[in-house]
Amino acid sequence: MRPTAKFSLSFGLVTIPVAAYNATDSSASVSFVRIHTADGGRVRNQPVCSLEGTEVSPDEIGRGYRTEDDTVVPLTDEDLDALPLPTARTLTILAFVAGGDIDPLQLGKGYYLGVDGPAAAKPYALLRDAMERHQRVGLGKIALHGRESLAMIRPMGDLLVMQVLLWPHQIRPMTGVLPEREVKVAANEVRAAETLMDSFGELSEEDVHDHYREALEEIVAAKLAHREPEFEAGGEPPAGQVMDLMTALQDSVRAAKRARGETDEEGGAGGGSGPSGRSATKTAARKATAGRAATGRGPAKKATTPATTPATATKTTAAKQAAPRKATAKRAATEGASTAGRKAAADRGSGAKKTAGAARKTTAGRGRKAG
């Protein structure tokens, strides 16, 4: 990897010669070329002189600075090298701050900083380890590619990394972006949002994979082969927008848990395709059927005869064999009850006769005594 620039990193009275290497690769991103739709020919940006109307070769192209009255002043490399700026060859660290103090909107292109010569190895490691232990990043200014920029130096593993920063005046104000009226959010909605945040897992390799580039390459390959592109089946998008915020948050939590194979707080698997999900679905279906039967709602269904299994046949045969025995026992119990009833009635009749005889004897005895 070739360095794009070389300069010195100034840390107090310590000077560290470094070489800057591009940390990002713009060629790896998806890019398109312009074509003529009528015949597919390339449409190119040709450098043309606005005065002569002719194409200009690269070695004839220089720099110019346009003033406010649209006057272009030519500038050479010697003019730029003569600028009385210490940042032209040296990045002087002006302050050390916490990394969180840097507005992410200011972050620009990143560079790896390597040592430029053996003598720079020890001060390089010293600055790296000191920032790592102190949890600070360095801020300074450097002139790169014909312009001066803010720069942030931070440790990353065994390396020092330089991040070019935009100037504060290059960050646009937020006027017209915020909602026109104040929005009030309930405390339970904030808690639900925090629960949803906690339900998100860590990023995986699949999450940071460039699927768009792969899909685009498949379309290109299919066009070259005169076939239809083949894509893997992806997840279904949401069916529609849920206007109730709490419902949307709760549904999002359940969806996030199902995506990780976790169980919902309500005890089911959220209608998943696993065994617990099917069990919950069947239980809900049985409850719904029982509820319709109890309330008389729902369409009437014809009774169906269940399929006969060996276990069912055995139970049916045993029931048929036991039926005569139950009938005999019932008749015996009925006859026994009838016999006992007749005996009790006879006993009651005999007792009545004895009582009547005793009464007649008593009456007769009283008559004899009276005579």
331: pLDDT confidence band, cut at 50, 70 and 90? low
Amino acid (one-letter) located at 4: T
Give per-residue pLDDT as tens, 212-244. 888 888 888 898 999 998 887 766 655 556 567
Rounded to whole angstroms, the Cα distance separating 180 from 291 reads 50
Q: Which of 174-178, 197-201, 333-337 has the lowest mean pLDDT?
A: 333-337
pLDDT at 123 over 90: yes
Least confident of 93-102, 140-149, 229-238, 271-280: 271-280
The pLDDT of 75-82, averaged and rounded, is: 81
Q: What percent of the chain has pLDDT over 90?
A: 29
Lowest-confidence segment of 68-82, 98-112, 262-276, 322-336 by average pLDDT: 262-276
- Secondary element (H or E) of residue 20: strand 14-22
Structure confidence by residue, pLDDT tens digits, 39-64: 999 998 889 999 999 999 989 999 89
pLDDT given for residue 265 in this prediction = 52
| For residues 173-192, average pLDDT | 87
Residue type, 78: E
Question: Contact 300/289 with Cβ under 8 angstroms?
Answer: no
Q: How far apart are CA 188 and CA 195, in angstroms?
A: 10
Tokens of 255: 């969806």
d(CA 252, CA 246) in angstroms, rounded, equals 10
pLDDT score for 264: 58
Give the span between the Cα atoms of 128 and 113, in whole angstroms.
11
Output the pTM of the full model: 0.57
